[in-house]
Amino acid sequence: MKKVYFILNLLAGKAMISEKLADIIDSLTKAGYEVTVHPTQSSEDAFECAKDLYDKYDMLICAGGDGTLSQCIQGVMSSEKRLPIGYIPAGSTNDFAKNLGISSNPLEAVETIISGHRMGCDIGSFNGQFFSYIAAFGAFTNVTYETPQNIKNVLGHMAYLLGGISQLNTVRSKRMRAEYDGNVIEGDFIFGMVTNSSSVAGLLSMNDFLLDDGVFEVTLIEKPANIVQLPKIIRSLLNINEEINKNYIKFFRTSRIKFISLGDEPVSWTRDGEFGGDNAVNEIICCNKALEFMVKEKKENYFVEDSIEFFDDYDENVT
């Protein structure tokens, strides 16, 4: 009988997971799993549990939002043996689950764990810590970790949208240098992100990416020369259909990048919606296929495409 350790955040999303808990455990038990259940007790609890499971269990199951999953990933990546992860999305946005094609219906997600396939996914290293789908700085990146859980439970994506709009008048640029693959970019950026995702907080969109290709997508938004352009760029970042000047955007792919702050004030980062620190130097590395997740259908080079031409144009701006 396979043993699984089930970490769940009962407060994630609209706290709906508790209503399905009995059915989830029943489905796993009927499928032949011996289930140990652990509700999270603190923000670091999932990490502490996940790092010590490698010699006792066959799989880690995580039920919660992107933050809970991120903590589980921290733990598994820090352990001697990396267990496969089954994910039951229960947060407000569940960006990473959407990338993997995992249903937001808890019982359907459980069925994927029971009858699905393992898929290797790239994991990001951020100064030795780990993230599943995004590390970012600048405009609105604080909204994901400063919005109270009860507000996210009630408003979902709208909580992030309202929080971002409330900061429109306070967006400031960050003087940064990015070093990657022998290239150097310097500029005043209002936003930057390193991603392996098609969506960030349900708002920012990324089209054309691979989950397991060994590289991440980097998007940098420069401070506009004319302040009138700023609201237009912000609305585009919030996925409101609006054209922006492509001269302000730099896009490229890399497996390793170093960001150096050139300003006097520290630059705060976010990792998977959680505070990532404010160090002057930050190095991000793509760990190719570092973890396996249970997915409904195993696909090599899992690919999402929508508007690849849109991004190809930006490669010309990288110097």
Which amino acids are annotated catalytic?
Answer: 274
Q: Is 58 left (phi over 0), alpha (psi -120 to 50) or beta?
A: alpha
Instruction: Give me the helix-helix angle, 17-30 and 106-115, nearest 10°.
Output: 20
C-alpha distances (whole Å) from 108 to each of 27, 88, 113, 126 are 10, 9, 9, 32
CA 84 from centre of chain: 18
Q: Cα(first)–Cα(last) distance of the chain, in Å?
A: 56
Burial class of residue 179 in the structure, from the number of CB atoms within 10 Å of its CB (0-12 exposed, 13-18 middle, 19+ buried): middle
Contact call for residues 281 and 258 (beta carbons, < 8 A):
yes
Which structure tokens are listed for 26?
């029943």
Greatest CA separation for the chain: 64
C-alpha to C-alpha distance for 316 and 138, rounded to whole angstroms? 23
C-alpha to C-alpha distance for 175 and 73, rounded to whole angstroms? 31
Helix (H) or strand (E) holding 114: helix 106-115
- Beta-sheet pairing, 183-195 with 216-222: antiparallel
C-alpha to C-alpha distance for 97 and 296, rounded to whole angstroms? 11
Q: How many CA atoms lie within 13 A of 273 on its CB side?
A: 29
